Chains A and B, each alone.
Chain A
């Protein structure tokens, strides 16, 4: 039993990171119908920039803040320089652009930082807490709390603020939103900044546990996408639940089946969802206007 609890804790911890990535996917997907394959690189950048700034002597909170702001700025730059100029391009072109951005950021991280694996100290020490015969790192609570706070913040933003409603309006119908005076370009900028910032936050919170390196992004992207899809593409609640579920499935696979092939769990989930319920747990069946 305590073994199961242990797997549960580690599953919820990584699941929280996947949920944050899935939320990032969802924000951009809703605002623009673009699936941003560079989403995982934001997580990598959050971790790497924080490590770099911290190693250079800055206090950890400041380093983390710099990482989040810098990554958000990069997200905006990707939107302005690579995605906006290609508006109206076929899906395949947009996929190639965002994958290109992902590969580019990986290449840049190798050059600016290095190819080593890095970490920085956990926020509240390393003394594990004992719960029901299992242990949990204090950092795990930071990650899980972070995911829940971000979700609550997004929910408040999208339902209670005018700006949040403008984003929702844009995702429903871009042209109609423009007609009622919403600056849809600003909405896009905001979505990319938010999404990149959330990704970077995930990297900051997770790095003391999962470690970071220039090439960790693609794995986060794949699992975050699996989470978003499992929950139902474009549904924030679904993204949260899907992310946590993917984390749990992965941890249980590692615990009971094979730790070598835990990475395969996300892929198997993707295939099963596509086979049996392409609309996901919370999603609606999609129809396309011609």
Chain B
């Protein structure tokens, strides 16, 4: 039997999970939870590129999710754009902002990016909260329908709202994972991992360190933006919470919990942290406590994350 490449294996596992899990859903509600996991998984895949591949950290990626989400709310009403084009517009704005913010910072040590992105995220949330006339303020704002489900219905494919978003987000996640995995194997990906290992060593072999870090930052911002758009379109509503500090922290925690170095691991982390509050509603009050604890424990004891550590145990390499 020909051996599958790691990339195809990851994509196959992911596709199989997306396709097979609905057969075990006791009710339609689970489609919603599934879609939420996929959207979080998409944002976290962006974090994998930034943190796992390039070794940089952002504490403000929710800001990009906010931009993507509010683009879907505002562009259709104010610019007359179709919601799908609003997703593209949001991603473009996020990319430009990431480039502007990242360019001066990524030449410096790691924690400068953390602080600058932390400030950036807070700034975006502040604008969304304060510009009531435009964004509706803390109460949020309605988002128009994507219209794709109606289109599918015309073509004879009838899905419930939950089913549609489950499969649609699943497909987008697959596409996002495919791009991230391709990047991993490309010369750019190799260079990124080289600079993760040692920036100075990478520079001495001719890697343009600052430019590569910037690329990773911009790409991951686009992932977060698209994820934010999907949340907004699915809920047909959005509040500034999507851009909040805690959302940024959730993204980082999901990535490091599952394993920021691997796409599948990070998506696994997204699944765990999305399911946990659903399973234990009593946990809501303890959410911050648990997130903080997970971040510290994983970084101290399981630096590669949950999934890679489990896989290693299973293979028994005990590296």
A residues engaging B (CB < 8 A)? 35, 37, 82, 85-86, 89-97, 99-108, 110-111, 218-219, 222, 225-226, 229, 260-261, 263-264, 266-267, 270-271, 274-275, 278, 286, 288, 290
B residues engaging A (CB < 8 A)? 51, 55-57, 59, 101, 104-105, 107-112, 114-116, 118-120, 122-123, 126, 130, 200, 245-246, 249, 252-253, 256, 285-296, 299-300, 303
Q: Which of B105, B111, B249 has the most CB atoms of chain A within a 10 A radius of its CB?
A: B111
| Chain A neighbourhood of B123, CB < 8 A | 263-264, 267
Tell whether, in the assembled complex, residue B126 and residue A264 are in contact, meaning their CB atoms are under 8 Å apart.
yes
Name the residue of chain A whose CB is nearest to the CB of B291: A103
Say yes or no: A100-B295 contact (C-beta < 8 A), given A91-B109, A218-B245, A222-B115: yes
CA distance A82 to B294 in the complex (A): 12
Say yes or no: A92-B290 contact (C-beta < 8 A), given A82-B296, A290-B200: no
CA distance A95 to B295 in the complex (A): 10
CA distance A226 to B112 in the complex (A): 10
| Chain B neighbourhood of A99, CB < 8 A | 59, 114, 249, 252, 295
Q: Beyond the given A100-B293, A111-B285, could you list 6 further A-B residue pairs with CB under 8 A, ordered by the A residue number?
A: A82-B300, A96-B256, A218-B245, A226-B119, A274-B104, A278-B112
- CB<8 Å pairs between A and B, sample of 27: A35-B111, A35-B114, A82-B300, A90-B55, A90-B110, A91-B111, A95-B57, A95-B59, A96-B295, A97-B296, A99-B252, A100-B291, A100-B294, A103-B246, A103-B249, A104-B288, A104-B296, A107-B289, A110-B285, A111-B286, A111-B289, A229-B112, A260-B130, A264-B126, A275-B104, A278-B107, A288-B200
Say yes or no: A270-B116 contact (C-beta < 8 A), given A92-B56, A100-B296, A275-B104: yes
Say yes or no: A97-B300 contact (C-beta < 8 A), given A267-B119, A274-B108: yes
Say yes or no: A110-B288 contact (C-beta < 8 A), given A97-B296, A99-B295, A274-B105: yes
Name the residue of chain A whose CB is nearest to the CB of B301: A85
| Chain A neighbourhood of B110, CB < 8 A | 90-92, 95
| Chain B neighbourhood of A104, CB < 8 A | 288-289, 291-293, 295-296
Tell whether, in the assembled complex, residue B295 and residue A92 are in contact, meaning their CB atoms are under 8 Å apart.
no
Name the residue of chain B whose CB is nearest to the CB of A38: B292
Tell whether, in the assembled complex, residue B118 and residue A89 are in contact, meaning their CB atoms are under 8 Å apart.
no
| Chain A neighbourhood of B111, CB < 8 A | 35, 91, 95
CA distance A85 to B300 in the complex (A): 6
Say yes or no: A222-B118 contact (C-beta < 8 A), given A92-B110, A93-B299, A107-B288: yes
Tell whether, in the assembled complex, residue A86 and residue B108 are in contact, meaning their CB atoms are under 8 Å apart.
no
Say yes or no: A86-B299 contact (C-beta < 8 A), given A91-B110, A100-B294: yes
Q: Which of A89, A107, A226, A264 contacts B303 (CB 8 A)?
A: A89
CA distance A235 to B277 in the complex (A): 43
Q: Min CB distance, A3 to chain B, in Å? A: 24
| Chain A neighbourhood of B287, CB < 8 A | 107
CA distance A90 to B245 in the complex (A): 23
| Chain B neighbourhood of A107, CB < 8 A | 286-292
| Chain A neighbourhood of B130, CB < 8 A | 260-261
Tell whether, in the assembled complex, residue B252 and residue A271 are in contact, meaning their CB atoms are under 8 Å apart.
no
- Closest 4 A-B residue pairs measured CB to CB? A104-B292, A100-B295, A107-B288, A107-B289
Name the residue of chain A whose CB is nearest to the CB of B112: A274
Q: Which of B114, B115, B303 has the most CB atoms of chain A within a 10 A radius of its CB?
A: B115
CA distance A288 to B126 in the complex (A): 37
Name the residue of chain B whose CB is nearest to the CB of A288: B200
Tell whether, in the assembled complex, residue A95 and residue B114 are in contact, meaning their CB atoms are under 8 Å apart.
yes
Tell whether, in the assembled complex, residue A263 and residue B126 are in contact, meaning their CB atoms are under 8 Å apart.
yes
